[in-house]
Amino acid sequence: MSILAPLRLFVVVIVLTFLAIHAWAEPAWRLWVEAPLGSDQWSAGKDFVAKDECDKHAQKLNDFELTMARTEHMTGDSRDLFTCLPDTVDPRPEAALR
């Protein structure tokens, strides 16, 4: 075993630790749905690493909801609303009591 082997192992451990900390520190985003709009009844959906990815998904779902509401001649208030929030935020009213 060469003298460099322990040094290589040390460097690998440091790099892996840095990568794990970096991945853990990235903010996560959660897709929420308020059904129906204005009801204050929230359900958690899919989690995303990037906010822009979550926002794109929410926009597609909101566009679909609006299309369905128009097709069924419903008012805008009777549709669901999709939105992205940091995973540390819970919009449900009961979450405020915890």
Domain boundaries, the chain: 28-97
What whole-number distance in Å separates Cα of residue 52 and Cα of residue 58? 10
pTM for the predicted model, two decimal places? 0.67
**Sheet of 81-86, strands arranged across:** 42-48, 29-34, 81-86
Per-residue pLDDT tens digits for 29-49? 999 999 988 899 999 999 999
CB-based contacts of 21, cutoff 8 Å, min separation 6: none
Residue 62 has pLDDT above 80, yes or no: yes
- Note the pLDDT of residue 91: 95
Q: Helix count (H) and strand count (E) of the chain?
A: 2, 3
